[in-house]
Structure 1
């Protein structure tokens, strides 16, 4: 019988796993849920249960999965007030921006489990070790490569149309969201965007 476990992330919240049978190496975020099939040759074999790799068989060096299920929080509900530059995250009011020439539309946006380490966060690693962990805002997969088309919740000092949180506040946002789940295998909650 498959045992539900979670990924133990590295110091930046990411772990590299091997997709089977092809052997492609991909990074997945900590707390990602997996179903362990078994272990052999020093590797744990599992099915990814959520995130962009959902439904794919994979393996990782033994010792990189939690010994049991990890309690997760219910889906998050964040509110971004564009005109005030305020992101309401739990009980906290944080400074955030969007690009005035390409601002994120008002309304409800699903917040997805981080998809891959984003190199755009490298310059902020001294402010938050999770600076490369970005949460895609939308349904399906991010398109990629089209500046301003994909919307993310991330840290930084400038925005191309995402919701960009001040670097010193990013660790608190990340640590709150990474353990939230909407029970759909893709999202951690919802972002409500207002004028």
Structure 2
């Protein structure tokens, strides 16, 4: 259950510092991107926070609300939002204690994606989550260029393979995925116009690939848990993002394959 923030202020005069009760809140995107744009202090650089990132309100000053980011890439930084966006974007709610995704392999077969207009050798599987099921692909048997700068294979051409059976931790999103690689799943005539949050990719903790596998939407898998059934992505996204399985907010839950 989520409620908008209601801060107690001493007055409404701009450029006057007011005191607020220190409470934690969670971030919420102002749109359906899944990312909240904030301004870091004192650099004035912009940063993007995934939804349900924990923050602590610090002060209201000069028409902006300042808060301490407690989790993620920008943890321990001060950032701010325009006061007019605070009620919508810093919410008072509770997170789930950890999502669980279960993958059951179905069949390896060649199939044409009507959105990508491409035939691929898919390893189709069934994903169970939060009482729902979705068709996914966990490998498309393709060559790809490694884009993870942390990998020793960075910029090399590799061949995809599925993750081994086992249990994995799913990390909270770190940075936005490439919009060009997912936007057409919404804009194509055969796509799903209501698709949202498609640039939010959830890294899977797996040392051998330097966390290069993700839970994401699409019809092409380079060894990722890829939500082939595009219409199910929004529900899957909301389930994952609203959960954290550890006190530091590093993980959203676990993935079980096999």
TM-score range, shorter chain: 0.7 to 0.9
Structure 1 segment 171-186 matched on structure 2, within 5 A: 171-182=234-245, 183-186=247-250
Structure 2-normalised TM-score?
0.66
Higher relative contact order (CA 8 A, sep 6+): 1
Give the Cα–Cα distance (whole angstroms) in 2 for the partners of residues 187 and 97 of structure 1: 23
1:74 to 92, 97, 102: 97
Structure 1 segment 8-87 matched on structure 2, within 5 A: 8-12=28-32, 13-66=34-87, 69-83=92-106, 85-87=125-127
Alignment correspondent of 2:25: 5
Give the Cα–Cα distance (whole angstroms) in 2 for the partners of residues 90 and 187 of structure 1: 17
Larger radius of gyration: 2
Give the number of equivalent residue pairs: 188
Residue 48 of structure 1, CA deviation: 0.9
Q: Given that residues 127 and 167 in structure 1 are in contact (C-alpha distance below 8 angstroms), is that contact kept between their aligned partners in structure 2?
A: no
Give the Cα–Cα distance (whole angstroms) in 2 for the partners of residues 50 and 153 of structure 1: 20
Q: For residues 173 and 64 of structure 1, do their structure 2 counterparts lie closer, same or farther at Cα, with a shift above 3 Å needed?
A: same
Residue 162 of structure 1, CA deviation: 0.8
The unaligned stretches of length 5 or more in structure 2 are: 1-20, 108-124, 142-159, 187-192
Structure 1 segment 141-156 matched on structure 2, within 5 A: 150-156=212-218
Residue 30 of structure 1, CA deviation: 2.3
Q: Given that residues 54 and 185 in structure 1 are in contact (C-alpha distance below 8 angstroms), is that contact kept between their aligned partners in structure 2?
A: no
Q: Given that residues 5 and 65 in structure 1 are in contact (C-alpha distance below 8 angstroms), is that contact kept between their aligned partners in structure 2?
A: no
